[in-house]
Amino acid sequence: MMENILRPIYQERASHSDTLAIIMIEKRNQTSPITDNLDAVLLVVVNDSDATTLIKHYEFEDKKASLTVMTKEDLQEAILLGTNRRIVEWILNGRVLFDRNEYLVKLIERIKTFPFAERKLKIGIEYGKLIRRYIEGKAFFESNQLLDAYNHIVHALHHLARLEVIDRGFYPEVTVWNQVKHIEPQIYKLYKELVESDETLEKRLELLFLASDFLIHSKTEIGAAHIISIMSEKESWFYNELYHHPELKYYSVDLSIILEFLVERKYISTKRIETKGKGIFHRAYFIGKKC
C-alpha cells in the first residue's frame, strides 16, 4: 500500500512542530495530470512564513512519488489566485495523513463556504484576465491573424466561465466546462459553437466576439466590484498606489488594462494633476459616475 511505503518520508515531517498538515494524492488513471503522472503526491503544509516551497521526487520499486512542502501563506495564495488549480482538488479529495489542531478541517470548510471577500477578489482577477484576452484576441482578429484570435477567445471564454462559477459560490475545478454546463448553459453553448460549428473560422470568431462583447459588458458591475470597493477607500489614486495595494497587487499586469476598460465605460474617472514638466500631468483615478 502506497501509504505504508511513503510512511518514513511523511512521518519525519509530522514530527516537526511546524508541520500543520499532510495530504496524499494517489494516481487514479493511466494518465494523471493531477499527480503529474507520478504514482503519488505528498503535500506538506508548514507554518514557517520564511520557508520557500520545497519539492522532491522519489523512486521506489517501480513507483514514483513527489513531496511538496508549502507554507500556509503560499498555499492560501495558490488557492486564491488559482496559480496551481490542482491544489484545491488535492485538499478536497486527498487522503489526510496528518492534521494539527484541525487546520485542514477548517481550510476545507473555508473552501466549501468560499467567503464573499475572497470570492469578490477572485472575480476581479478573472475579469481582468478576461478583458486582456478579449482585447488581444480582437486585435488579432482585426489584423486577420485568425488562429491567434481563436486561441485568445478560447482563453477569454475560459475566464468568463471561471468568473461565472466563482460568482455562484464555487471554486472553479480543473474540469470547469463540466461545471459551467450546469451553472450557465449560455456560456457553455458559446464555447461549443466556437469549437464545433461548421461555419468558417472567421465567421465563428465574428459571432463569438459579438456575443463576448455583450457578456463582458453585462458582467462589468460584478467584475469591477472589487476594484471599486478598494478605490472607495479614498478620494483619488495614482496608478502606482493601486498597483501596490495589498489586494490589487494580485491583478499584476492586468490592472492597467482593466482600469482603462472601466474608464471607457465611466465606472472610473480620471483627473490631471500638474507635474514639474510643462504640459505633462500625472493621471489620477477616482470612482466614476456609474458607481
Cell of 269: 474617472
Cα angle 182, 187, 189; round to 5: 85
Question: Number of H helices and number of E strands within the chain?
Answer: 12, 8
Both 182 and 274 in a single domain? yes
Question: Residue 61 above 90 pLDDT?
Answer: no
- Contact between residue 255 and residue 243 where contact means Cβ atoms under 8 Å apart: yes
Segment 281-286 shows an average pLDDT of 93
Which of these three, 74, 96, 113, is where a domain ends?
A: 113
Res 174: pLDDT: 65
Question: pLDDT, tens digit, for every residue of 10-33?
Answer: 888 888 889 999 999 988 877 777
Over range 262-275, report the average pLDDT.
Answer: 92
Most confident of 45-49, 81-85, 197-201: 197-201
Q: What is the CATH number of the domain that holds 9?
A: 3.30.460.10
| Whole-angstrom distance, CA of residue 92 vs CA of residue 104 | 9
What is the arithmetic mean of pLDDT over 70-92? 86
CA gap 90, 27 in Å, rounded: 11
Mean pLDDT to the nearest integer, 274-284? 87
Residue 6 in any domain: the answer is: yes
Q: Are residues 184 and 256 in the same domain?
A: yes
pLDDT at res. 1: 67
The verdict on residue 267 lying in a domain is: yes
Of 59, 88, 113, the last residue of a domain is 113
Instruction: Mark whether 62 and 32 lie in a shared domain.
Output: yes
Would you say residue 157 has pLDDT above 80? yes
- Name the pLDDT band for 132 (thresholds 50, 70, 90): very high
Same domain, 142 and 267: yes
At 238, the pLDDT band (50, 70, 90 cuts) reads very high
Residue 131 in any domain: the answer is yes
Q: Domains in the chain: how many in total? A: 2
Give yes or no: residues 136 and 101 share one domain. no
Claim to verify: residue 122 and residue 232 sit in the same structural domain? yes
Written as one letter, the residue type at 171 is Y
Q: What is the CATH number of the domain that holds 277?
A: 1.20.120.330
Tell me the average pLDDT across 109-127: 91
Do 93 and 28 fall within a single domain?
Answer: yes
Q: Which pTM does this prediction carry?
A: 0.84
**Predicted confidence (pLDDT) at residue 175 exceeds the cutoff of 80:** no
Residues 255 and 140 in one domain: yes
Per-residue pLDDT tens for 248-260?
989 989 999 999 9
Q: Give the domain-ending residue among 54, 84, 113.
A: 113
- Domain membership of residue 251 as a residue range: 116-286
CA distance 199 to 204: 6
In this structure, is residue 291 part of a structural domain?
no
